Amino acid sequence: MSFLKSADWNRLDNAAKIFPPTSNERDTKVFRFSCQLKEPVQEQLLQQALDDVIGKFPVFCSVLKRGVFWYYLEHREIRPLALPEHKPPCSELYDRNRKNLLFEVTYYRRRINLEIYHALSDGTGALEFLRTLTCRYLALAHPEIPGDPVLELDYDASVFEKGEDSFLKYYNPKKKVKREKTIPAYQLKGVLLPQNRQHVIEGTMPVKEVLRAAKSHGATLTEYFCALMLLGIAEQMPVTARRRPVSLDVPINLRNYYESATARNFFGVMQVRYLFERQENPSLEQVLASVKQSFEKELSRERIEERMVQLSAIEHNFVARAVPLCVKDLVLGFASKYARVATTASLSNVGKITMPESVRPYIDRFDLMTGTDKLQACVCSYQDQLTVTFMSGFVSTQVQKHFFRMLASEGISVCIETSPMPEVEEE
């Protein structure tokens, strides 16, 4: 195995700049992709696979450092280790007092986990790494697999393309963006789990059944899940709180709109809102109609480009560039708190995950989860199985229960797994 010996460094991309000053023990800005195999993971082979593929993603061999004006990623000769799972999902990875790698590979029984600090990469970049790692591992574990599954992946980006800052590449300085007024949203409240723990509830279901249900309502899968989640939140809202809208953050993969193969961050976020005021029992059709309107508006080329400019503006502002990092941290921290009042929860759908045909018999499923101080739903599918994973720091699970009950009422077969609960009593 060979490591980069240069002192190469990269400034954080525009989406990543918000994460270092706003991450903490409860909101770690860490997410996890997992691949569940059909056999136990072999630690030595997983380590060998990690050694073999890390060179294909050199930006991952970076530590986060503070400069005078900006955070930046610096390449380090640190060997990443594949370890048994040893802490709760999505625990802190970024430690301001240590220069450690910003990702971690662990395993538990049949599951390979990849956890990443969001300043390093987004879901698409992380998934490409995990797909590559899994293919290499299975090639080592099963020499009978013909050819090299890594070469069969539909991801052949160069090292340069993987490390590219696509925000910088596609920034349009001529694009003018109107500042939108922040609308305070309904905020979930309740007893928090101790020690910053996260409650994980995962539902698996047949892809065909979900697609059939969404299609019957004239909606896409993401629109359908957004509507169900809005209704799930509304179910436990006090009547007095209904004067505020329920608002979901929905990440957008900008690679679907701009040519990019970067393994770094390249995403935007849209908001889907619904006001339940004066509606005691709104129907799924009513909520879906509003959700579809939001998606049509927010996914227009105009709005996509506006998000690009908004995310890139600070880096291209001369005054902002000259402000010391300590001041930027304070400003970004305040701006983040201000923006977060407009969000109730989040839903992220990374879509269909594919793998080379030669390794499919050895893989059961994939799933995704992310640390949060609110409520987060993550969606992905593999082959004929779709997984919805909820994470929350609250003791109450009423929203999640209502979400899955609505799916069941739509004729969808849902299998639910939940993480062990600490002994905490609800108020």
Question: C-alpha dihedral over 249, 246, 397, 368, to 10 degrees?
Answer: -10
Q: At what angle do helices 43-53 and 123-141 cross, to 10 degrees?
A: 120
Residues 117 and 251 in one domain: no
How much is the pTM?
Answer: 0.91
Q: Is 59 exposed, middle or buried (0-12, 13-18, 19+ CB in 10 A)?
A: buried
136 φ/ψ angles, rounded to the nearest 5 degrees: -65, -40
Residues 275 and 414 in one domain: yes
**Which structure tokens are listed for 224?**
């359908």
Residues 163 and 292 in one domain: no
Chain centre distance of CA 204: 18
Tell me, yes or no, whether 335 lies in a domain.
yes
The parent domain of residue 33 ranges over: 9-170
| Distance, CA of 229 to CA of 390 (rounded, Å) | 11
* Side-chain-side CA neighbours of residue 253 (13 Å): 18
| Distance, CA of 87 to CA of 76 (rounded, Å) | 25
Residues 281 and 411 in one domain: yes
Q: How confident is the model at residue 319, as a pLDDT?
A: 55
Tell me, yes or no, whether 178 lies in a domain.
no
The two counts, helices (H) then strands (E), for the chain are 12, 15
272 φ/ψ angles, rounded to the nearest 5 degrees: -115, 115
Residues 25 and 91 in one domain: yes
The three-class DSSP label of residue 73 is strand
Q: What is the mean pLDDT for each group of 10 consecutive residues in the chain (427 residues)? A: 53 85 90 97 98 94 86 91 94 89 96 96 95 98 95 87 87 75 91 89 97 97 98 93 95 93 91 87 93 95 84 62 74 77 96 96 96 95 97 94 97 87 41
Residues 162 and 203 in one domain: no
DSSP state at residue 89: T
Q: How confident is the model at residue 230, as a pLDDT?
A: 97
Residues 166 and 198 in one domain: no
| Distance, CA of 5 to CA of 136 (rounded, Å) | 24
Contact call for residues 193 and 88 (beta carbons, < 8 A): no
Tell me, yes or no, whether 271 lies in a domain.
yes
Tell me, yes or no, whether 146 lies in a domain.
yes
Helical segments of 192-317, H only: 207-216, 221-235, 284-298, 301-316
Contact call for residues 202 and 416 (beta carbons, < 8 A): yes
Domain final residue pick, 138, 170, 202: 170
Residues 164 and 253 in one domain: no
Q: What CATH number did the domain enclosing 122 receive?
A: 3.30.559.10
Domain count, the chain: 2
- Beginning with the edge strand found earlier in the chain, give each strand of the sheet holding 71-75 in spatial order: 9-11, 71-75, 62-66
Tell me, yes or no, whether 258 lies in a domain.
yes
Tell me, yes or no, whether 366 lies in a domain.
no
Residues 40 and 138 in one domain: yes
398 φ/ψ angles, rounded to the nearest 5 degrees: -65, -40
Among candidates 255, 228, 217, which has minimal Cα distance to 351? 255
Domain final residue pick, 170, 204, 229: 170
Domain final residue pick, 170, 202, 221: 170
Tell me, yes or no, whether 2 lies in a domain.
no
Write the secondary structure of 331-365 as one string of H (helix), E (strand) and C (coil): HHHHHHHHHHCCCCEEEEEEEEECCCCCCHHHEEE
Q: What CATH number did the domain enclosing 337 receive?
A: 3.30.559.30
Q: How confident is the model at residue 133, as a pLDDT?
A: 98
Burial 65-104 (b: 16+ CB within 10 A, else e): eeeeeebebebbeeeeebeeeeeebbbbbbeeeeeebbbb
Residues 29 and 113 in one domain: yes
Chain centre distance of CA 37: 21
Q: How confident is the model at residue 425, as a pLDDT?
A: 42
DSSP state at residue 147: S
Tell me, yes or no, whether 139 lies in a domain.
yes
Residues 110 and 230 in one domain: no
- Other C-beta atoms closer than 10 Å to the C-beta of 359 total 23
Residues 42 and 107 in one domain: yes
